[in-house]
Structure 1
């Protein structure tokens, strides 16, 4: 039996729709063992103990690529990434399954081939790329090729996530998006994305609010998240701080250079005035990405 550890991820990051993602210090752990026959799941809800389990689906697709004939599989789950909260839970499953199957196959595929495989499963690389490589990743698809590069983040920034007790499916979040956008909105987001990457790299906290503005997805998805308007209004009182929807939601994220005490005080004010239950977590950036631990 061996272990695969995969970090949570926050994609989109304000204006970086479907192109930017960051790995966070919140982890799912999966334990894999090839057995004589059958399919055994432990530690996950009963509804996922079948062949439609995303970890298993990812394993099967990887075995198809490697040509390995697997006899049977046992998977044990120890998961901390909440499901359908915009923190990359499905990407973590896809990455874990592919890495595990490749390990069982004898490390046939390169990490770039794993990235391509998991991107096919997820549909886009903005979550799977940081899950695999860690850090903040800019990614894009060029026909069948997946392009990526790790962006620098100045160590002076702090990250927080606000996780609610309600789910928000990616499908529902996609449905509210417009089919077409104005040319001016596209220009707006291109400029903000470029500014954000430079601001994060150079430690320019005073540029956070402006650079995290977005016109492609957050104006539409924010209506699905009760408390979003209060969240943004409250954060406007903080200098060197920006808030954004993590992935497709429902989690909200904060990046700041302000002191912890002031930020936590503001975040507690927000969640104490909302109807749903929320938890606040300060999270580190994970710079390692997914890893395999052999017992």
Structure 2
């Protein structure tokens, strides 16, 4: 496999996973994007420039997540490694449950797709599999790559009866009702995914699992055709309650909003709160959550940001640049 382009531009959306009951399976792409330019260099080495989120804190060498994903993708298709110059314009907040690491991984894989002579070797199925290997789970990677609402899952490798064989990763993209208006309520502090997962139990009651399965199925219907069911459909018994001790303010906000009839959940591993609001009939710029969010803040939640973010229906993209 040869390299075809020397300069590509990649655009990847923020994402919110879980959406309440869809733990490690459901994800939604949001209209907030990281954009980066990647240049293949004749000389060896890596130069990374970061502007915006993560500037001065993320690595600027081979350990940068985009670089690691790009190199893994080149290795996968047998393409030669090259020197790299990355210019990253980051808008997705880091450590807030909005898929910043998935955005970086998908960006690296898509950059490799743009650089190689046969981009079909890194089609969406392959890109999702590679991203999942680096991420550990596909719930953010799938919507970042495909856009819209996605359901992601893994199954046994085709034809394999070996339990140690790598699982196949799959995802489907579903339509989102136009009246659904996501709103991210972003706190000033961050929380690592490792810390958020570390408080989850190894086992949950069978009754809770059965209850959760019904809500997850209902959520697909609510997001696609019945937004009036969003409050009931976003109930959760598997992860948010266990995480209360590591993000008490976030769960307090979720409780306050849900008490007023607003479909609010923890976004991914948190601590951002995602509101799945509905457009108000007769007021195209208003939603059923506006008053509840304003009341919940009440001047007390200093440093939090309220970001209305439309659904991103396009997903990640890569464009070859002509210098």
- TM-score of the two chains, using structure 1 as the length reference: 0.94
- More helix as a share of residues: 1
Q: SS state of the match for residue 19, structure 1? A: strand
| Residue in structure 2 matched with residue 236 of structure 1 by the alignment | 258
Check the 8 A contact 1:271/1:277 in 2, yes or no.
no
More deviation, 6-15/102-111: 102-111
Aligned counterparts, 1:1-40, within 5 A: 1-37=7-43, 38-40=45-47
CA distance in 2, matches of 1:204, 1:82: 27
Match of 1:185 among 174, 184, 208: 208
Deviations 1:199-227 (A, max 9, x none): 2222241x222211111101011332232
Question: Is it true that 1:280 corresponds to 2:291 in the alignment?
Answer: no
Residues 118 and 262 (structure 1), Cα distance of their counterparts in 2 relative to 1, 3 Å cut = closer
**How many residues were matched structurally?**
293
- 1:237 deviates by 5.0
Question: Is it true that 1:166 corresponds to 2:172 in the alignment?
Answer: no
- After superposition, the CA RMSD in angstroms is 1.7
- TM-score of the two chains, using structure 2 as the length reference: 0.86
Residues 46 and 15 (structure 1), Cα distance of their counterparts in 2 relative to 1, 3 Å cut = closer
- 1:195 deviates by 1.1
Check the 8 A contact 1:66/1:102 in 2, yes or no.
no
| Residue in structure 1 matched with residue 154 of structure 2 by the alignment | 141
Question: Is it true that 1:252 corresponds to 2:273 in the alignment?
Answer: yes
Check the 8 A contact 1:11/1:18 in 2, yes or no.
yes
| Residue in structure 2 matched with residue 266 of structure 1 by the alignment | 292
Check the 8 A contact 1:156/1:203 in 2, yes or no.
no
Deviations 1:55-80 (A, max 9, x none): 01101111111111123010000010
More deviation, 228-237/119-128: 228-237
CA distance in 1, matches of 2:75, 2:251: 47
- 1:153 deviates by 1.7
- 1:51 deviates by 1.5
CA distance in 1, matches of 2:57, 2:149: 34
